[in-house]
Amino acid sequence: MSQAVIESKDRIIKRGQFVAGEDQVLSAEALGFLAELAERFAAPRQTLLQARLQKQAEIDAGKLPDFLPETRNVREGNWQILGIPADLQDRRVEITGPVDRKMVINALNADVKVFMADFEDSLAPSWEKVVQGQQNLKDAVDGTIEYTNPANGKEYRLNPDPAVLIARVRGLHLDEAHLTYQGEPLPGALVDFALYFYHNYRALLAKGSGPYFYIPKLQSHLEARWWAEVFAYTEERFCLTPGTIKATCLIETLPAVFEMDEILYELRNNIVGLNCGRWDYIFSYIKTLKNYPDRVLPDRQVVTMDKPFLSAYSRLLIKTCHKRGALAMGGMAAFIPAKDPERQAQVLAKVQQDKELEARNGHDGTWIAHPGLADTAMAVMNEYIGDRPNQLQVSRDVDAPITAEDLLAPCEGQATEAGMRANIRIAVQYIEAWISGNGCVPIYGLMEDAATAEISRASIWQWIKHGTHLDNGQLVTADLFRTLLKEELSVVREELGAERFDGGRFDEAATIFERLTCADQLTDFLTLPGYQILTQSTLAHGQAL
């Protein structure tokens, strides 16, 4: 079959399979705008990715992350962000979810303030999902989105007062292989941003909302500056008042926690808040400090938000945001509703406890992964926020200063055999789901996405590297991992049933997992090798248009 190639006048090349909806989503005008962005911002993005490697090399060589001396004046200066639009003032509960059509409708109808529509941690970005996701969000913004479940005939449409929509774009590290500019794949982040902005900004502004974005996995204020330039260019290009585009940045990497003031400052016209993306943050703690034997994390299950290094992160984020007039969003408790009433009571108690800690700290809002948790989260946030829209008044000025030592503090706890086996079962099932096109799955009563699964696989890599001993005295080695992987694959087969297991891609997932875990170097993101596999067939099987 011949490769499908659409060439815009501005040299964006579409590669690979044609998927339904593509002709609308990739309109000539949208591609033209994307080409303008690529021309200006694709090369600087590569420079930023190189800077990440440079910084990591310094940390690997013994220089622990710290606040930057060269930006002390920004941290100590007296300035505020430009402002927060009316419909983003109250974000006490936000639901998140991938951009599947049914999920989009359910999320917008949930009893929450905001829906974060996710092209990132919870989406395996196959070309089909990326295109359909854009189409789904456009239909949602237009108010025309509908869906009938072919399995049971259930019909879905929007309620009269849906949640406010924020789109989370892909991280800077991810390419979109189906679109190239001057021979290079486009940054996935620019594709998601440009298409969502282009197709929706008019309708969003017309209804009193706006083009709102979540920006994930930033690692430095220079990356925030890059986004500020993307936004400024876009606003000028479409004759919009500066500051029309609004962003919330996830602070979910260890390097970024040392640059929160600077990130707010760079984006001050466009930013409305920061968010504690705790799962990627834990993963980043492992990854960034991978050469430090005294910072090895214990079982994932015990790395909770009350641990000193995570508490410091949450409190510093709140203090920094509120000083600048920005919202300090909390994160995700990974528990999801259970059918068994006893287990369900435990889930709700865990979620309530987690949200209470966030609300008490002063967070202005929190995340839920499932509509069934909305009432619990809302009740907690209502208790603390009350009739105000948020907790911007909480300054945390009485806290002792939070230091680099606090943020980097080692985490107490044991690495256990049960924890290692659970990590193996979770990681292999998640990788299997991801390469099959599903970026978010329920596993053992928890929501698992790219951030949570990264912790599972990176922990084992770290335990092997540093010769961790498990609670049973066993030394973690590559051989032990291989033995347990084999055993746990049998357990998963037993749990899922032979039909599902044998019809799935578990052998392939196990091979990838083994390669990642036994490699000398820690692979930056599992989604990078995953993406090669995810896109193999769509890139190879094009059809002429």
The pattern of x and - marking residues 133 through 162 that bind ligand ACO according to CB under 6 A reads ------------------------------
Is residue 451 near Mg ion by the rule CB under 5 A?
A: yes
| DSSP letter string, 98-136 | E--HHHHHHHHHSSSSEEEEESSTT----HHHHHHHHHH
Contact 17, 542 (CB under 8 A): yes
Q: In the complex with Mg ion, which residue's Cβ is closer, 118 or 235? A: 118
The sign of the dihedral angle between the CA atoms of 388, 212, 369, 113 is positive
Helix, strand, or coil here: 438? coil
From the list 329, 337, 342, 328, the residue with the least C-alpha distance to 374 is 337
Alpha helices in 207-220 (DSSP H): none
Q: C-beta of 439: minimal distance to ligand ACO in Å? A: 8
Is residue 113 near ligand ACO by the rule CB under 6 A?
A: no
- Residue 19: what are its φ and ψ, rounded to 5°? -120, 155
Q: In the complex with ligand ACO, which residue's Cβ is closer, 22 or 454? A: 454
Give the number of other Cβ atoms within 10 Å of residue 447's Cβ. 22
The sign of the dihedral angle between the CA atoms of 84, 88, 92, 94 is negative
Whether 449 is catalytic = yes
Is residue 94 near ligand O=CC(=O)O by the rule CB under 6 A?
A: no
Q: C-beta of 216: minimal distance to Mg ion in Å? A: 5
Q: In the complex with ligand ACO, which residue's Cβ is closer, 214 or 531? A: 214
Is residue 370 near ligand ACO by the rule CB under 6 A?
A: yes
Q: In the complex with ligand ACO, which residue's Cβ is closer, 456 or 468? A: 456
Q: In the complex with Mg ion, which residue's Cβ is closer, 122 or 180? A: 122
Q: Which residue in 22, 87, 90, 121 binds ligand ACO (CB under 6 A)?
A: 121
Q: C-beta of 454: minimal distance to Mg ion in Å? A: 9
- Rule CB under 5 A: which of 83-142 touch Mg ion? 121
Is residue 279 near ligand ACO by the rule CB under 6 A?
A: yes
CA distance 98 to 123: 5
Q: C-beta of 121: minimal distance to ligand O=CC(=O)O in Å? A: 5
Is residue 277 near ligand O=CC(=O)O by the rule CB under 6 A?
A: yes
- DSSP assignment letter at 3: P
Is residue 449 near ligand ACO by the rule CB under 6 A?
A: yes
447 binds, among Mg ion, ligand O=CC(=O)O, ligand ACO, none (CB under 5 to 8 A by kind): ligand ACO
Of 2-10, 274-282, 309-317, 428-436: span binding ligand O=CC(=O)O (CB under 6 A): 274-282
CA distance 327 to 321: 6
Burial of 246-278, coded b for 16+ CB within 10 Å and e otherwise, reads: bbbbbbbbbbbbbbbbbbbbbbbbbbbbbbbbb
38 binds, among ligand O=CC(=O)O, ligand ACO, Mg ion, none (CB under 5 to 8 A by kind): none
Q: Which two tokens stand for residue 481?
A: 């991992």
Q: Which residue in 93, 110, 247, 250 binds ligand O=CC(=O)O (CB under 6 A)?
A: 250
From the list 247, 306, 253, 309, the residue with the least C-alpha distance to 277 is 253
> What is the chain's Cα-based Rg?
22
| DSSP letter string, 332-352 | E--B---SSHHHHHHHHHHHH
Which residues, other chains included, contact 349 with Cβ-Cβ below 8 Å and sequence gap of 6+?
Answer: none
Q: How large is the greatest C-alpha to C-alpha distance in the chain, in angstroms?
A: 67
Task: Please identify which of the residues 45, 101, 168, 268 carries the catalytic annotation.
Answer: 168
Q: C-beta of 250: minimal distance to Mg ion in Å? A: 6
The pattern of x and - marking residues 65 through 84 that bind ligand O=CC(=O)O according to CB under 6 A reads --------------------
- Rule CB under 6 A: which of 384-443 touch ligand ACO? 440-442
Query: Which residue type sits at 120?
Result: E
Angle at alpha carbon of residue 259, lines to 258 and 260, rounded to 5°: 105
Whether 360 is catalytic = no
Is residue 470 near ligand O=CC(=O)O by the rule CB under 6 A?
A: no
Is residue 103 near ligand ACO by the rule CB under 6 A?
A: yes
Helix, strand, or coil here: 146? strand
Which residues, other chains included, contact 463 with Cβ-Cβ below 8 Å and sequence gap of 6+?
Answer: 296, 415, 420, 476
529 binds, among ligand O=CC(=O)O, ligand ACO, Mg ion, none (CB under 5 to 8 A by kind): none
Task: Please identify which of the residues 261, 315, 449, 457 carries the catalytic annotation.
Answer: 449
- Rule CB under 6 A: which of 321-350 touch ligand O=CC(=O)O? 331-332
Of 50-58, 86-94, 278-286, 481-489: span binding ligand O=CC(=O)O (CB under 6 A): 278-286
The pattern of x and - marking residues 429 through 448 that bind ligand O=CC(=O)O according to CB under 6 A reads --------------------
**For 184, what's the count of Cα atoms within 13 Å in the CB-facing half-sphere?**
14
Of 12-20, 131-139, 446-454, 505-513: span binding ligand ACO (CB under 6 A): 446-454
Given 3-state DSSP classes, what are the helix, strand and coil percentages for the chain, each rounded to the nearest 5?
50, 15, 35
Q: C-beta of 102: minimal distance to ligand ACO in Å? A: 5
Q: How far is CA 397 from CA 86, 274, 315, 316, 385, in A?
A: 27, 18, 11, 10, 19
Q: C-beta of 298: minimal distance to ligand ACO in Å? A: 20
In the complex, which residues of this chain contact ligand ACO (CB under 6 A)? Answer: 95-98, 102-103, 106-107, 118, 121-122, 279, 332, 336-337, 369-371, 440-442, 447, 449, 451-452
In the complex, which residues of this chain contact ligand O=CC(=O)O (CB under 6 A)? Answer: 121, 250, 252, 277-280, 331-332, 451
Catalytic sites, residue numbers: 168, 449
